[in-house]
Structure 1
Amino acid sequence: MEAKTRGSHAKWIALTALAPIAWGSNYPVMHHFLPADSPLWGAALRALPAGILLFLFVRKLPTGSWWWRAPLLGLINFCVFFVLVYVAAQLLPSSVAASIMAASPLVLGLLGWAMLGQRLNLPTLIGAVCGIVGVILIVGLSTARIDGWGVAASMAALLVFSIGSILTQRWRDDTPVLALTSWQLLFGGI
């Protein structure tokens, strides 16, 4: 029984590791394999196919206020965010872009406090700062020249991502998560 439990835990640990590995590969892949002058196509090619496949799986149309919320969230969470990340990846070394995005827990905490009235406590702040320092220590900082527009794009992506996350949380209801995600991907890709 104990060996079966360990095997189950190992499977979940491996699956959990896939997300950061996939996310961490975004910057080098975008920087080296996508055309530098096509951020809108890069965003569309990331969002639209996933949105179509997910929509074909869930087969549910938006209802009520989701007809305006889903396009807005799709624009924020996928279109604008992906374009800004794409631009940052073209203009910055991957380590710098990743280090800026490592501030997302801190920014989300501050916006959650400002927009949702969520309590921001000391352990959350300490954890966010430790996460930022950890990413910087792991990926290092580049010795290459840092492009100001790339930093601005990366910081804007961080802010857009955080606002989209807060709005998604604020508007959360009993709508199935997969349906909501499919609508956002479709609208963001379009």
Structure 2
Amino acid sequence: MASAPRRGTAAVTALTATVPISWGTTYLVTSQYLPPGFPLVSGVIRALPAGLVLLAATRTLPHGPWRLRSAVLGVLNIGAPFALLFAAAYRLPGGVASTLFAVQPLLVAALALLLLGERPTGRQLGWGLAGVAGVGLIVLRGRLAFDPAGVLAGLAAAGVMAGGIVLTKRWGRPAGVGATAFAGWQLTAGGLALLPLALTAEGLPGGLDARAAGGYVWLAVVGSLLPYPIWFHGIGRLPVVAVSFLPLLSPAVATLLGLLLLGESLTPWQGAGFALALSAVVAAQLPPGALRIRRRNPARTPAATVPTGE
């Protein structure tokens, strides 16, 4: 009887995994299609239009304590990570910034213990370290330059999004409010939080060609409008530490796209890191003891079928 819930969980996990896969396309789109020098404006365009569309579609606004909660979650899940990740990207090689963000599963495990009372297992912590090592092998290459402010920004981005994931799990959603409306609240709040900073620090880009316009549409639709309702649905249904491993798919997808579309090469060490990161994602979704059970069953079957010679 336990197999049906497990199959349901697997389906939710597979659907939620499509979100960081879509996020992994952001690196390619940003580098190849968007005008340089407007990272905060890009963050606003990615978040705010998608949030407003979802609000218009659902016609549901936060009420009561959820006015403040949705604003807090919007900053933690959307606004602050965008700003901090852009700051890290300007001060660090992109691979270093991505690797810093890979500490998120470990931060989520610590916050889940403090705020949810969920004690991480040694297995989860071990795979968290393995995921960091795997992403590091994928993206760290060449000579590295570490700017202290960039390192701090990258770690802060991982920290605030980890806090957003755990608080989203702790607070849940108001009764009768679906994941689509919930995503609309947060995307709108995060975009509005970024808007004055973007206008003050960068202003608006000049004339955009069709290539840049298409890139912005991709970020708004594929990067936010479609995935975030799925993401918040997954957070509500899955164990919080297991969800925190899924973003490790993003740098893996970005690396694969660079390999296939930009002619980038994948060294043997990077191939090993790719396999290690994906192994960490898969292992984090399995229930405790699943691998042990699977090892036992094959051992029993041959024992019943080997001829005795009598």
State the 1:108 CA deviation: 0.5
- Whichever residue aligns with residue 90 of structure 1, its letter is Y
Per the TM alignment, residue 35 of structure 1 is displaced from its structure 2 partner at its CA by 4.0
Determine the structure 2 residue equivalent to 1:126: 126
SS, match of residue 163 in structure 2: helix
RMSD of aligned Cα (Å): 2.5
Hey, what does 1:186 align to over in structure 2? 188
2:89·2:97 contact (CA, 8 Å) conserved in 1? yes
Gaps in structure 1 of 5+ consecutive residues: 1-11
Check if 1:114 corresponds to 2:114: yes
CA distance in 2, matches of 1:93, 1:25: 18
Instruction: Please say which structure displays the higher CA radius of gyration.
Output: 2
Q: What is the aligned length?
A: 178
**Alignment check: 8 A CA contact 1:27 1:94 kept:** no
Structure 2: segments with no counterpart, 5+ residues: 1-11, 193-310
Quickly say closer, same or farther: Cα 1:34–1:122, change in 2 above 3 A: farther
* Aligned residue number for residue 60 of structure 2: 60
> Post-superposition shift, 1:18?
4.9
Q: Partner of 2:179 in structure 1?
A: 177
Q: Distance in 2 between matches of 1:76 and 1:95?
A: 23
Could you state the TM-score of these two structures normalised by the residue count of structure 1?
Answer: 0.82
Answer yes or no: is the 8 Å Cα contact 2:47–2:188 preserved in 1: yes
The Cα shift of 1:63 comes to 2.1
Aligned-residue sequence identity (percent) comes to 39
**Greater mean deviation of Cα atoms: 156-165 or 167-176:** 167-176
1:21 to partner: Cα distance: 3.9
Q: Secondary structure of the residue that 2:144 maps to in structure 1? A: coil
Counterpart Cα distance in 2 of 1:171 and 1:147: 36
User: Relative to 1, partners in 2 of residues 1:124 and 1:15: Cα closer, same or farther, differing over 3 Å?
Assistant: closer
Q: How has the CA–CA distance of structure 1 residues 52 and 122 changed in structure 2, closer, same or farther, with 3 Å as cutoff? A: same
* 2:93–2:145 contact (8 Å) kept in structure 1: no
Contact 1:47–1:78 (Cα < 8 Å) also in 2: yes
Distance 1:66 1:17, change over 3 A: closer
Which piece of structure 1 moves more, 75-84 or 139-148? 139-148
Q: Which range is displaced more, 42-51 or 150-159?
A: 42-51
Residue 119 of structure 1: CA displacement? Answer: 1.3
Shift of 1:115: 1.8
Deviation for aligned residue 1:28? 5.7
CA distance in structure 2 between the partners assigned to 1:131 and 1:157 by the alignment: 17
Contact 2:71–2:186 (CA under 8 A) maintained in structure 1: yes
